[in-house]
Each structure stands twice: as structure tokens, then as C-alpha cells.
Amino acid sequence: MTDTAFISDDTKFVKLLYQKLERLCPALGELEPYEFGYCMENWNPPQGWNSVQLENKAEIEKKINDFAFYKSIQINNKVNGNFVLDEKIAHLTRMLFAGLVSSDYELDWVDKHFYFDPRGFFFLTRTTYFTQRVIDRFGGNPYASFEKKQREFEKLNGVGYKAFMAANREVDECFIQCVQKLIKIKKTPILLGIAGQTAAGKTEIVERLTKAFKEAGQKVTSIEMDNFLTDRDYREAHGIDSEGKQALHFDLLTRALADITAGKKIRIPRYDFVSATSSHDIDGKLKSGSEMVEVEPADIIFMEGNFPFLLDEIKDLIGIKVVYLTDDPVRLKRKWKRDMDYRKKYSLNYFRNRYFKDQFIMAQIAYIPQLETCDLAVDTTEAAIWATPDTSAMLRRA
Amino acid sequence: MDNFDSRLFDFMKPLNQGLEDLELYEFSYALKNLQPAEGWDSVQLDAPTQIEEQLSSREFYERIQTKKKVNDRVTLDDTILRLNRMLFTGLVSGRYSVDWVDEHFYFDIRAFLFFHRTRYFTPEVISHFGSAAYQQFKADQQKLERKQEIGFRDFRNANIAVDEAFIQTVVKLVEARGTPVLLTLAGPTAAGKTEIMARLFNTFAALGKKITTLEMDNFLIDRDLRGEQPIGKATSHFDLFKESLQELRQGNKVFIPRYDFINATSSHDLNHQLKDGCTSIEVEPADVIFIEGNFPFQIPEIANLIGIKVVYLTDDPIRLKRKWFRDIDLRKKYDPMFFVNRYFKTQFLRADDCYALQMACCDILVDTTGAALWVTPQIAGELK
């Protein structure tokens, strides 16, 4: 049923939209209607809400599950020297606003495919990380689950680290214990790879694991995957993606991993981010005047980087493979605080464009593939730990 | 350097309770943007007295550049940056005491900067009100101290008692004096003017009073003729304004100029004559006439015509947090760095230009942050 009467009256439109959006996004309930009206000032189409063309639901679903849609998002577009919100993102939000008010799109349908970020005041697509294949791999059910305390973030516009850590306390503690048990069974030295999206909480969980290992008297070190990158000029000239094997001094990497797990001290290349060059030439020889990074032997060696076990050739060398996940809406709220408020790192529209664009793409190229090869997955938002049947059996025996 | 961060963090926690909600590494992320390339050791410290002197000079604020760009992004003004680097370093080295910093500055977490405290209650203002507040309530805005931004609902809830007392006072005064009455309300940006005006309006409407509003902006002359000067005698149709007020006080209908914001032109020329093809605005007589806009009621010829002159004040730290929420998060109106530069620059200058003068001649002063209602001894007498 389409109700065009509402759509032709801006005030009524905003009022009805507010009622509906509040149900999708509880944080909006903290606003006074006139404050909601302020937010809408940026969205009211010059030709009125009647002018917004609605696509049908099937069309939209197809689009938002297509790589091409995300690839086409322009993150850097500027008008009068200022970054602008990508036209496709803006169109999607306007369409959802109009479709919600006209009832062409039901709340449940919108909620299933999108989430509304209150601070950015726009819709983003939900990313599915736990595909059926991933769930099947973990035997259909989580290994452990706890109360979903991140629910309280639904009312917030931004999430600071203290609140985040407090919400994840139970699942994090259980996870740390799982890793400790696995290490006991698998023996040291062991390589530990933790993959996770931006702002999922990787750095912090690595710090806590490190502390736990040290307290248990274990020696800990880490290997930065990025140090194995080849010169950027070379990669760019040859069209090499930074995620692939070709982007790395791959032989040096496999040798280093084999040596350190054998308890040996290793010397690895050093990648300089400022000049975007490696200490090693393309044949894996140390350039004159360059220095290597020395890594002392240790019991537990963290593999640091976004894709520690994406490469088939090295995944078997990594003793424990973990994906540490937090849902997109919560990570976005973390980034509002951390990257926007505290670090002041990005311009508003660049940030909105980039976050919208990257989540789907990164899920497909990095996180889903790693979920399909990992031993453990932590889903902080659902407060659940997933383990492969093998890992699960080991943990129960321990 | 980690050591510098964590020591500074400890020194600063008593200055802003909201910092308790931050983890040290979050504090460090924010601080990193302000760290000098040559390290904190390189910061030269001015003597506290020298800083105090700067803070009370217009020149210090006037030279702040609000929209200078570096690599295409608006950058924090050098003066503000230098001041903040000094304060951070001085706190850690012990050169500046926490108490001294707190006396002169407040720390805003969103901006991650110290701002100077604007002093609104000068001895002159306090003595104008007979040295004591008329009514004093519990300062509930203290509950907002830990928040990084403040939405309207929280703000209104914190002001319930003082707002209610203010409204009752105005109603009583209007009853005592009879109508028509002219009322004006001034106050700094985001003090809560619009909202309290709307409530006064509704209160009088509920009492069956006829109400009208007079937009001060309609008396502006063409922008081309005004230049950058603030609103005042030289930039408005001052005589027309004065006449209109006199007529309305007599209970007469008036025709006032119309200012067109799109073309930035007035319906009237400099001789106060209606231009060809323009129309004036008809203002019907009413019991209560609200004069809206930031209007120079300190000018004596005007002050005498206005029955009730109000200044509605909220302290700078609270207004800043209101603006983070309203103007940055909700409206997305400004570049955040431009916003910070401008807020830092304008509070002192605006206070110096108008609020100090208005506070020293108004009838009622509402201090929402202090939860206090101030009235002149004369009005206190009338209210008895």
C-alpha cells in the first residue's frame, strides 16, 4: 500500500518517519522531535519527497549483494573543496526514508537488510559474516555463548573502549581460556593468528592475551605481516593486490615462520611505511644500507595483520587461527569515538563513504574466507565463541 | 612520551570528570594530534600572569584564524594550539597548578582542548542585581559534566526549576504592570533562547493573552550598506524601530520593514521609504510583544521602551557540548575544526561586545548553569 498523502507533506513526512525510524534505531528515541527535524534538514529533497523514485525490494536486495555496487562508491568526491556523501549512498537512504513512510518497504524488511547509524544519520547495509557455509563448518552451534551485553549500545551514538570492554568481559575471558587450553595441547612454540575487522577490538584482545601468557611465564613475540611487503612501486607497476601472495617476500615469510616455530631466532625484512619500501629487493636480497628486524625465539608468536591466514600456503603453519568479529553497527560507533572524535582522522563524508563501501568488500575478500579456515571465531556482538568440531573436541578434553 | 601522556592524564582527570570514561590509549590518540614534532620538551612556557593578561585582551582572540587550511583541511589555529601545548606541558612539569588551570580554563573532551572561561558575572553586573540572586536552585547541570555532548532533553531537564521560576516571574510582572508589554531576551549561542521563548509564548497564550513577535532582523538595512558591522544604530532602520516600539506600547498596529535574507536587502531605503515593488509587514497590536533576535537593548533610548529585558545565560562549557550535539552531530553544519576555532574566538568577543553591557542593564537574568534567577532590586520590589 502506498500512501502518497504523507509523502507530499514534509512536516507529516518527518513526523511519520521519526516514528518508524525510532523502532529501527533506539538511539533516536533520545531526540526531541525538533532535533530529529534538524537531522532531516540535510535530507529533504529540493523537489520534495514525492520526487524520490523507489526501486522494488528485489532490485535493492540484488544490488546490495553485488560487489559492483560497493566498488562503484566514490569515497573521495569533492564539491567546493569539501568531501560529499556518495550519490548512491544518499539515494539509498532517501529511498528507504520515502519507502518507509509510504509503507512500500516494511520495517522488518528494512531491518533485515540495513541498519541505521544515528550519528551518521544514514542507512548502511548489514554484512553477513556467518554464512551457512561458515555455520556448517562450526557444526551449526556456537561452542559457548553469553548474555548479549552489547545490546545496550543500541541507545548510544558512539561507543568508547571502556564500555566496549565491559560488555565483552565474559566472552573475552572464555576466549582467553580457550586459547590457553589449545596452547597446552598443541605445544609451544606456536604461531597465533588473529584476524578481525577494523575496530573489532583486535589490538586490545591481543594485549590481554599477551598479558595472560606473560603471567603464565610464557615468552611472547610478534611478527608483523606488513614487514614482508615488497616495494609499493613494484606492486603498483605490476598491478599486485596487497592481500595476495605476490605482494609479499613469500619465500622469506615461509622460511621465517618455519624457523621461529622450530624455536630459532629469525631475521625478517623491514617495511618502511613512510617511503613504502622494503629492506629487501624483489629477489629477496637485503638492499645495501638496509637493516632487518630481529625476532627472538618465543613460546607464542602473534601473527599481526588483517589477513594472517588468508594465504593457503601458510595457513597450516599457524597453530591457532582466530577470527575476532564485532558487528558493523557497533564497530561504526566505536570508530565515531576513536577515529573521529579522539583521533580526528577523517572528514565526515569521507568517513561515511569509506565505511559504507569497505565492509561488504572486506567481508568477501578477507573475513568470510578466514572464517572458513579458522579454528575459533569470537563474535563479540552475539557474545558467542564458535569452534570447529576438532577444536571443540580438544577444548572439551582439556 | 608514554610517561608524559599518562602523567598528563592523571593531572587532567580532576579538571574534567568525563575523562574517567576514557582509557589511557584513547586519551593518547587524541593528544597525538597536538604533540609538537620536536616533542613536549620543546614547548616554551609563558608565565601564568602573562597568559592571564593575554586572555583578557581582545587582540588575542581577534587574531585567531578560523578557517585556515593546510592540505585542504581546516587546521587548528596556531594561537589555540600554542596555548594548549603550554597548558599540557605546564601541568606535567608543575609550572601551572591544576587550580590555576581550572580557574581560567575548562577542558572540552570532544575538541580535546582547553578553552578560556568567559567571565560573565563582573562586579558591575553583580551590583546591578543588588549583589545576590533572587532565587537559587540546585545546580542540576552538574549532572551533565561527564557528558561529551548534550541533547535538548537532558538540558531541559537540568533547568526545570530555574526555567519554571523564570516563567512565573515574567507572568507575575506582566500582571503587575499591565499590558501591552514589550519583552526581549538575549543570550549567547545555544544558551537555550529559542526553547525558553517558545515556552513563554505558550504560557501567555494559555492565559488568553494576545501575542506577537517582532523580528529584529527585519529592521536591518541592505547588507551591502552594512558591511561587517554588528547590528546597531548605524546598521538598522533605527528610527523606524524606535517608532514601532512606541506605537506597539500604545496598543497600535504598525507597519515594519521586511528584510529579505535571500537577497540580503531591506524593503526600505536609507530614508526609511518603502522601495518600489516591496511590501512592509503588518504587526497587529497585542498584549505581549516579543522582540526576537540579537538586539542591542543596551542603547538607552531603546532600553527605556522595553518593559522586560531578559538575558538568558548558559556557561560556555555546556553550550559547547550542546553545539557539538546540535550543530555538529545532528545538523552537520560546520567543519569541526572551523567550529572549534570559532567557538574559542567568539565567546570572549561576544561577551565583551554585547552580553556584558546587556547584563548590566537588563531586568532579569537567568543563569541556567548556576540555576539562579537574578532580578534588579526594583523588580524584586514590584514582585513583592
Cβ contact (<8 Å) for A338 and B29? yes
Chain A contacts of B336, Cβ < 8 Å? 344, 348
pLDDT at A83: 94
Of B21, B26, B73, the CB nearest to A347: B73
CA of A204: which chain B residue's CA is closest? B25
Which residues, in sequence order, are bridge partners of residue A320?
A192
B75–A contact, CB cutoff 8 A = no
Amino acid at A289: G
User: Which residues does A68 contact at the CB level (< 8 Å), separation at least 6?
Assistant: none
Cβ contact (<8 Å) for A38 and B153? no
Cβ contact (<8 Å) for A42 and B329? no
Amino acid at A39: C
pLDDT at A273: 87
Higher-confidence position of B183 and B233 = B183
For A308-347, where are the alpha helices, taking DSSP H only?
A: 312-315, 328-335
**Nearest Cα to B305, choosing from B363, B258, B256, B356?**
B363
Chain B contacts of A39, Cβ < 8 Å? 330-331
Q: How far apart are CA B267 and CA B280, in angstroms?
A: 7
Average pLDDT of the residues in A157-178: 97
**What is the share, in percent, of chain A residues with pLDDT greater than 90?**
86
Chain B contacts of A33, Cβ < 8 Å? none
Q: How far apart are CA A83 and CA A175, in angstroms?
A: 41
Of B21, B112, B336, the CB nearest to A160: B21
Q: Is residue B225 very low, low, confident or very high in pLDDT (cuts 50, 70, 90)?
A: confident
| Residue pLDDT, tens place only, B30-74 | 999 999 999 999 999 999 999 999 999 999 999 999 999 998 899
Assigned C-alpha cell, A72: 562503484
Q: Where are the domains of chain B?
A: 4-116, 123-210+286-382
Cβ contact (<8 Å) for B151 and A35? yes
Q: How far apart are CA B256 and CA B268, in angstroms?
A: 9
Chain A contacts of B153, Cβ < 8 Å? 30-32
Q: How far apart are CA B166 and CA B153, in angstroms?
A: 19
Assigned C-alpha cell, B353: 561586545
* Contacts of range A10-14, beta carbons closer than 8 Å, 24 or more positions apart: A10/A44, A10/A48, A10/A49, A13/A49, A13/A101, A14/A40, A14/A44
Q: Are A183 and A360 in contact (CB under 8 A)?
A: no
Asked whether this complex has an ipTM greater than 0.85, the answer is yes
How many other CB atoms sit within 10 Å of the CB of residue A71?
10
CA of B156: which chain A residue's CA is closest? A32
Burial of A332 (0-12, 13-18, 19+ CB in 10 A): buried
Give the three-state DSSP class for B313: strand
Give the three-state DSSP class for A294: strand
Q: How far apart are CA A228 and CA A239, in angstroms?
A: 17
Q: How far apart are CA B192 and CA B152, in angstroms?
A: 9
Chain A contacts of B148, Cβ < 8 Å? 341
Give the three-state DSSP class for A300: strand
Minimum mean pLDDT range among A329-333, B83-87, B139-143, B239-243: B239-243
Cβ contact (<8 Å) for A42 and B332? yes
Average pLDDT of the residues in A367-374: 96
The DSSP output letter for B140 is: G
B293–A contact, CB cutoff 8 A = no
Of B26, B152, B335, the CB nearest to A161: B26
Dihedral angle at the C-alpha atoms of B131, B135, B138, B143, nearest 10 degrees? -80
Average pLDDT of the residues in A223-229: 91
Q: Is residue A1 very low, low, confident or very high in pLDDT (cuts 50, 70, 90)?
A: very low
- Gyration radius from chain B CA atoms: 23
Distances (CA, A) of A271 to A221, A229, A307, A309, B357: 18, 6, 17, 20, 62
Angle between helices B78-93 and B336-350 (to 10 degrees): 80
Q: Which of B9, B20, B24, B26 is the mutation pick for testing A, counting most A CBs within 10 A?
A: B26
Chain A contacts of B75, Cβ < 8 Å? none
CA of A38: which chain B residue's CA is closest? B331
Q: How far apart are CA A286 and CA B206, in angstroms?
A: 85
Q: Is residue A304 very low, low, confident or very high in pLDDT (cuts 50, 70, 90)?
A: confident
Dihedral sign of CA atoms B268, B274, B277, B283 in order: positive
Cβ contact (<8 Å) for B331 and A41? yes
The Cα angle at residue A232 between residues A226 and A237, in degrees rounded to 5: 140
Q: Are B218 and B291 in contact (CB under 8 A)?
A: no
B326–A contact, CB cutoff 8 A = yes
Chain A contacts of B109, Cβ < 8 Å? 341
Give the three-state DSSP class for B347: helix
Of A35, A82, A162, the CB nearest to B330: A35
Q: What is the DSSP string of A229-272?
A: BPPHHHHHHTT--TTSGGGB-HHHHHHHHHHHHTT--EEE--EE
Q: How far apart are CA A32 and CA A35, in angstroms?
A: 5
pLDDT at A241: 80
| Residue pLDDT, tens place only, B131-184 | 999 999 999 999 999 999 999 999 999 999 999 999 999 999 999 999 999 999
Q: How many CB pairs under 8 A join A and B?
A: 66
Distances (CA, A) of B34 to A337, B4, B39: 17, 13, 10
Helices then strands (H, E): number in chain B?
17, 15
B32–A contact, CB cutoff 8 A = yes
Cβ contact (<8 Å) for B337 and A344? yes
User: Which residues does B178 contact at the CB level (< 8 Å), separation at least 6?
Assistant: none
Q: How far apart are CA B321 and CA A281, in angstroms?
A: 53
Residues from A in contact with B at Cβ < 8 Å:
30-32, 34-35, 38-39, 41-42, 81-82, 119, 121, 157, 160-163, 165, 337-338, 341-344, 347-348
pLDDT at B117: 97
Average pLDDT of the residues in A155-170: 97
CA of B323: which chain A residue's CA is closest? A35
| Residue pLDDT, tens place only, A28-64 | 999 999 899 999 999 999 899 999 999 999 999 999 9
For B56-122, where are the alpha helices, taking DSSP H only?
A: 58-62, 78-93, 98-104
Which residues, in sequence order, are bridge partners of residue B231?
none
Q: Is residue A286 very low, low, confident or very high in pLDDT (cuts 50, 70, 90)?
A: very high
Distances (CA, A) of B322 to B128, B189, B313, B329: 29, 10, 13, 10
How many other CB atoms sit within 10 Å of the CB of residue A189?
18
pLDDT at A218: 96
Chain A contacts of B24, Cβ < 8 Å? none
User: Which top CATH class is B123-210+286-382?
Assistant: alpha beta
B323–A contact, CB cutoff 8 A = no
CA of A81: which chain B residue's CA is closest? B72
Cβ burial B11-26 (10 Å sphere, 16+ → b, else e): bbeebbebbebbeebb
Cβ contact (<8 Å) for B153 and A30? yes
Q: Are A280 and A252 in contact (CB under 8 A)?
A: yes
Q: Are A166 and A158 in contact (CB under 8 A)?
A: no
Q: How far apart are CA A250 and CA A229, in angstroms?
A: 9
B147–A contact, CB cutoff 8 A = no
Q: Are B87 and B114 in contact (CB under 8 A)?
A: yes
Chain A contacts of B326, Cβ < 8 Å? 35, 38
Cβ contact (<8 Å) for A35 and B152? yes
Q: Are B99 and B11 in contact (CB under 8 A)?
A: no
Cβ contact (<8 Å) for B23 and A348? no
Of B30, B112, B151, the CB nearest to A31: B151
pTM of structure:
0.92
Dihedral angle at the C-alpha atoms of B170, B176, B180, B184, nearest 10 degrees? -30
Cβ contact (<8 Å) for B329 and A161? no
Chain B closest CA to A74's CA: distance in Å? 18
CA of B32: which chain A residue's CA is closest? A343
B152–A contact, CB cutoff 8 A = yes
pLDDT at A8: 55
Assigned C-alpha cell, A265: 631466532
B121–A contact, CB cutoff 8 A = no
In chain B, the DSSP E strands lie at: 69-70, 73-74, 105-108, 113-116, 135-136, 181-186, 211-215, 254-256, 259-260, 265-266, 281-283, 288-292, 308-313, 364-367, 372-375
pLDDT at A2: 45
Pairing label, strands A293-295, A277-278: unpaired
By residue count, chain A amounts to 398
Chain B contacts of A348, Cβ < 8 Å? 332, 336
Give the three-state DSSP class for B180: coil
pLDDT at B338: 97
Query: What is the helix (H) or strand (E) element at residue B345, kind and residue range?
Result: helix B336-350
| Residue pLDDT, tens place only, B108-137 | 999 999 999 999 999 999 999 999 999 999
CA of A78: which chain B residue's CA is closest? B72
Burial of A197 (0-12, 13-18, 19+ CB in 10 A): buried
Backbone angles phi, psi at B289, to 5 degrees: -115, 115
For every residue of A6-74, which 3-state class applies, written as one string? HHCCHHHHHHHHHHHHHHHCHHHHHCCHHHHHHHHCCCCCCCCHHHCCCCCHHHHHHHHCCHHHHHCCC
Backbone angles phi, psi at B273, to 5 degrees: -95, 140
Query: What is the helix (H) or strand (E) element at residue A78, kind and residue range?
Result: strand A78-79
Q: How far apart are CA B116 and CA B103, in angstroms?
A: 9
Assigned C-alpha cell, A127: 554484512
How many other CB atoms sit within 10 Å of the CB of residue B103?
11
Q: Which of B9, B24, B29 is the mutation pick for testing A, counting most A CBs within 10 A?
A: B29
